[in-house]
Amino acid sequence: MGSKGEYVPLFETSRGKGRAIYKAFVASVFVGIVSILTYRATNIPAWEEDGFVGWIFCFAAELWFGFYWLLSQSLRWNPTYRRTFKNRLSQRFQDDELPGVDVFVCTADPNMEPPAMVANTVLSVMAYDYPPEKLSVYVSDDAASELTFYALLEASRFAKHWIPFCKQFMVEPRSPAAYFLSSSSSRDSVPAECFNSVKKLYEDMENRITFTTKLGRVPENTSSEHEGYLQWNKFSSKYDHHTILQTLIDGRDSNTKDIKGCSLPTLVYLAREKRPKHPHNFKAGAMNALIRVSSEISNGQVILNVDCDMYSNHSCSVRDALCFFLDEEKGHEIAFVQFPQGFENVTKNELYGSSLRVIYEMEFRGFDGYGGPLYIGTGCFHRRDTLCNRKFNKDTRIEWKMENDRNIKETASKLEERLKGLASCGYEENTQWGKQMGLKYGCPVEDVITGLLIQCQGWKSVYYNPTRKGFLGVVPTSLNDTLLQHKRWSEGVLQILLSKYSPLRYGVGRISLGLQLGYCTHCLWALNCFGTLYYSIVPSLYLLRGVSLFPQVSSPWLLPFAYVTICVNIYSVVEFLWCQGTILGWWNEQRMWLYKRTTSYLYASIDVILGLLGLSTTSFVVTNKVFDPDVSQRYKQEVMEFGTSIPMFTILATLALLNLFSLIWVVNKVLLTKDGLMLCKTMVLQILLCSLLVVINLPLYQALFLRKDKGNMPSSITTKSTFLALFICSCFVFLY
Ligand SMILES: *[C@@H]1O[C@H](CO)[C@@H](O)[C@H](O)[C@H]1NC(C)=O
Ligand SMILES: CC(=O)N[C@H]1CO[C@H](CO)[C@@H](O)[C@@H]1O
């Protein structure tokens, strides 16, 4: 406490500025939308007319878009900003009074998630500016890969040099790979000699890890050096093996020291038991096994969860998070502190929009204004008790300063034997794990539903987005990967909306209305596919028949259409620039918006509908983090990557060609026929829409017809989509 017992907060919350102007703008756009809908409702063509069906569906699409736009305002209505005071934290809490922090790193596939990357992630979190006795790192390896184990063993040795080096010279960032690549100014204070010797150690380690990874197995002379490898003797496959639990660094042991004689954080490797007949519940299952195992080793009151492809970019993030939890007034309400996912591999104009700029800079702050952001499965600090189903009670405070009850009586090997059972397949049978306890099972976005249920227990969460990002990861660098990732997300969140934990039903009375609407905005991503598909196909096809679906140039009804379109897009540009994007980045994002909606979201919607009919089950796809140099090159030059022959690309190409053919047809007509000008006047909006779709698809036409590199559109898709588009267009012209 401050002087005279007066309360000085550990963090500060403020609201966004300029809200009144924004709200007036929203109101005006809303009037525009209502006018558009009025126009649709009052000008329906007679049912036997050519445009009747098209009109009705336009009406439906615009109703949806209007509704969805309104819904998405919930996330812009009340943005909230947070600031922490770490110096006050260190004044109020001595090092030995700080809570224990357990860091969970999950990896699932050494081929997609290179062991060297996992080692760097682990080293970056082991080097946090935090008392090492209070910090433990647990790695869950769902592939039970010897290669990952080898990399961690190497990392545990290198840590003895790396951690004291980081602490002595205040090195940032503390992932060695990122540090040695960066030209960070923190390098100047390091004597060249120290720098070079640590760098050499790192490079030797990295070479050894990469060598073994390429070899695909650990050489015998190496594996005989550590008894940990013996656990692989009875190993049959990654789908069928017993629990492997190894303490690589036992921080509880007072003899474990780094080269400077200081303590080290604990490092534990876990590959939980897998048997073909037992569902393993993907990442949620891995996290739950870690929660149980860690509770018997270090039992940190705070749990940090990071993906293996994200490293810590700020050594103080733990202290930042603790400023929220340990605040005497408000800390007791907070269940988790979510950091945004930062990305190091984004190019300037973000061809695939993968940094999710607007979501992290804008929408998550909106969530925070209503009780807290979603839990997104990485870069998130949880209180251990709230993850284990503790309900919120406004009078109960957690005793942070209590002695940490870490287990120091047993030796590591005894402990390991005893704890293996906690990670066995059978352990969770007839328990609440996966239901009430830990992360929830049965949803492809286990993180989001878990966060939602914690909020439904009465807890708040906090979004902390400092200028210097706390965690950095890599983005998918191809269109294919991006679309698949969004398919998984949009499918998962839509399932939540339809599940018994729907924010609209279960959430009622448990979370605020604003938060419910915020969740719905994300949960309904997938359903945007129908309106968008319709809007990007049918108006253009109607051009071929000369049927107008929008007001003519001379009609006053043109105004609301123009006003809404222009305003919404100008706002969207401004918002994007405000989130530190570029104009071209915005344009690329619009293209991705179209592509995601017409493929990822469509697939997600279809899968959810099939799931409702009992025809499909959830699956979990690990995103690829290994990059072909050729693909990387094109990614850096911001050239779209097609290259693979997947049905999603056929859809995209067909759509693009449909619009191209329609535009050619109509331009032809305008230029070559007598009533060309008339056509222009009656169909102006449709022609504009079609032209816009053509312009936004320019990179796709290039990939179809002009590019010769390996990332161009496979010729099978070119043929298929050209044929399909021609067929659909001619149907519209001649039959229908
Ligand atoms: C990561 O940390 C470094 C300093 O170590 C900083 O210069 C850089 O801006 C950070 N990156 C991001 C994206 O915040
Ligand atoms: C994992 C990965 O793709 N890393 C790349 C990120 O971007 C830098 C520079 O753009 C590359 O050097 C890395 O290889």
- Tell me whether strands 302-307 and 380-383 are parallel, antiparallel or unpaired: antiparallel
Contact 138, 294 (CB under 8 A): yes
- Tell me whether strands 471-473 and 342-343 are parallel, antiparallel or unpaired: parallel
Query: Sheet harboring 135-141: ordered strands across?
Result: 244-249, 266-271, 135-141, 101-107, 302-307, 380-383, 334-338, 460-463
User: Residue with the nearest Cα to atom 7 of ligand 2?
Assistant: 345
* Rounded distance between C-alpha atoms, residue 680 and residue 565, angstroms: 19
- Among the bound ligands, name the one nearest to the CA of residue 470: 1
Contact 172, 189 (CB under 8 A): no
Q: What are phi and psi of 468, to 5 degrees?
A: -85, 115
- Tell me whether strands 266-271 and 135-141 are parallel, antiparallel or unpaired: parallel
If you measure from the C-alpha of residue 622 to the centroid of ligand 2, how many angstroms do you get, rounded to a whole number?
19
Q: Residue 236 corresponds to which tokens in the numbers above?
A: 């049959």
- Among the bound ligands, name the one nearest to the CA of residue 315: 1
Would residue 52 count as lying in a domain? no
Catalytically active residues are 142, 447
CA-wise closest residue to 364 among 323, 329, 336, 392: 336
pLDDT at residue 414, as a whole number? 87
Q: Other C-beta atoms within 10 Å of 417: how many?
A: 11
User: Residue with the nearest Cα to atom 6 of ligand 1?
Assistant: 468
Would residue 290 count as lying in a domain? yes
The ligand 1 site (C-beta within 6 Å) comprises 172-173, 184, 313, 342, 468-469, 472
C-alpha distance from residue 406 to each of 103, 231, 659 (Å): 15, 26, 65
Q: Other C-beta atoms within 10 Å of 396: how many?
A: 10
Would residue 201 count as lying in a domain? yes
The string of DSSP codes covering 444-470 is: TTHHHHHHHHHHHTT-EEEE---SS-S
Q: Residue 399 corresponds to which tokens in the numbers above?
A: 């005793």
If you measure from the C-alpha of residue 345 to the centroid of ligand 2, how many angstroms do you get, rounded to a whole number?
6
Mutate to test the pocket of ligand 2, among 345, 351, 478, 636 (most ligand atoms within 8 A of CB): 345
Contact 601, 526 (CB under 8 A): yes
Would residue 74 count as lying in a domain? no
Per-residue pLDDT tens for 657-701?
Answer: 999 999 999 999 999 988 888 888 899 999 999 999 999 999 999
Mutate to test the pocket of ligand 2, among 307, 310, 624, 632 (most ligand atoms within 8 A of CB): 632
CA-wise closest residue to 134 among 465, 361, 403, 521: 403
Q: Is the alpha carbon torsion for 562, 564, 566, 569 positive or negative?
A: negative
- Tell me whether strands 380-383 and 334-338 are parallel, antiparallel or unpaired: antiparallel
- Tell me whether strands 311-312 and 471-473 are parallel, antiparallel or unpaired: antiparallel
- Tell me whether strands 460-463 and 334-338 are parallel, antiparallel or unpaired: parallel
Give residue 146's domain range.
93-310
Q: Which atom of ligand 1 is nearest to the CA of 468?
A: 14
User: Residue with the nearest Cα to atom 8 of ligand 2?
Assistant: 345
Q: Residue 522 corresponds to which tokens in the numbers above?
A: 């994300």
pLDDT at residue 1, as a whole number? 43
Q: What is the identity of the amino acid at 398?
A: I
pLDDT at residue 403, as a whole number? 57
Q: Is the alpha carbon torsion for 633, 638, 643, 644 positive or negative?
A: positive
Sort 629 into a burial class: Cβ within 10 Å, 0-12 / 13-18 / 19+. Answer: exposed
Alpha-carbon radius of gyration of the chain: 28
* Rounded distance between C-alpha atoms, residue 104 and residue 285, angstroms: 13
pTM for the whole thing? Answer: 0.94
Half-sphere exposure of 299 (CA within 13 A, CB side): 12
Sort 278 into a burial class: Cβ within 10 Å, 0-12 / 13-18 / 19+. Answer: middle
Half-sphere exposure of 591 (CA within 13 A, CB side): 24
* Rounded distance between C-alpha atoms, residue 105 and residue 307, angstroms: 6
The residue ranges of the chain whose pLDDT is under 50 are 1-3
Q: Which atom of ligand 2 is nearest to the CA of 627?
A: 3
Would residue 689 count as lying in a domain? no
Q: What is the DSSP letter of 586?
A: H
User: Residue with the nearest Cα to atom 9 of ligand 1?
Assistant: 468
User: Residue with the nearest Cα to atom 10 of ligand 1?
Assistant: 468
If you measure from the C-alpha of residue 468 to the centroid of ligand 1, how many angstroms do you get, rounded to a whole number?
5
Q: Which atom of ligand 2 is nearest to the CA of 625?
A: 1
Would residue 266 count as lying in a domain? yes
* Rounded distance between C-alpha atoms, residue 152 and residue 474, angstroms: 20
Q: Which atom of ligand 2 is nearest to the CA of 344?
A: 6
If you measure from the C-alpha of residue 103 to the centroid of ligand 2, how many angstroms do you get, rounded to a whole number?
25
If you measure from the C-alpha of residue 237 to the centroid of ligand 2, how many angstroms do you get, rounded to a whole number?
32
Would residue 104 count as lying in a domain? yes
- Among the bound ligands, name the one nearest to the CA of residue 477: 2
pLDDT at residue 733, as a whole number? 85
The ligand 2 site (C-beta within 6 Å) comprises 345, 474, 627, 632, 636
If you measure from the C-alpha of residue 478 to the centroid of ligand 2, how many angstroms do you get, rounded to a whole number?
13
Contact 536, 598 (CB under 8 A): yes
Cα 310 off chain centre by:
11
CA-wise closest residue to 406 among 79, 100, 9: 100
User: Residue with the nearest Cα to atom 11 of ligand 2?
Assistant: 345
- Measured at the CA of 396, the angle between CA 395 and CA 397, to 5 degrees, comes to 115
Would residue 316 count as lying in a domain? no
User: Residue with the nearest Cα to atom 13 of ligand 2?
Assistant: 345
Q: Which atom of ligand 2 is nearest to the CA of 181?
A: 12
C-alpha distance from residue 70 to each of 147, 362, 408, 522, 639 (Å): 50, 16, 56, 13, 34
Mutate to test the pocket of ligand 1, among 313, 347, 348 (most ligand atoms within 8 A of CB): 313
Q: What is the identity of the amino acid at 651?
A: I
Give the CA dihedral 539, 543, 545, 549, nearest 10 degrees.
50
pLDDT at residue 407, as a whole number? 61
User: Residue with the nearest Cα to atom 2 of ligand 1?
Assistant: 313
If you measure from the C-alpha of residue 598 to the centroid of ligand 2, how many angstroms do you get, rounded to a whole number?
29
If you measure from the C-alpha of residue 48 to the centroid of ligand 2, how many angstroms do you get, rounded to a whole number?
59
If you measure from the C-alpha of residue 636 to the centroid of ligand 2, how many angstroms do you get, rounded to a whole number?
9
Contact residues for 627 (Cβ-Cβ < 8 A; gap 6+): 477, 635
Per-residue pLDDT tens for 608-628?
Answer: 999 888 886 656 566 666 678
pLDDT at residue 47, as a whole number? 87
Domains in the chain: how many in total? 1
pLDDT at residue 674, as a whole number? 85
Of the chain, the end-to-end C-alpha distance in Å amounts to 77
Helix, strand or coil, per DSSP, at residue 52: helix
C-alpha distance from residue 36 to each of 71, 83, 196, 550 (Å): 18, 42, 67, 10
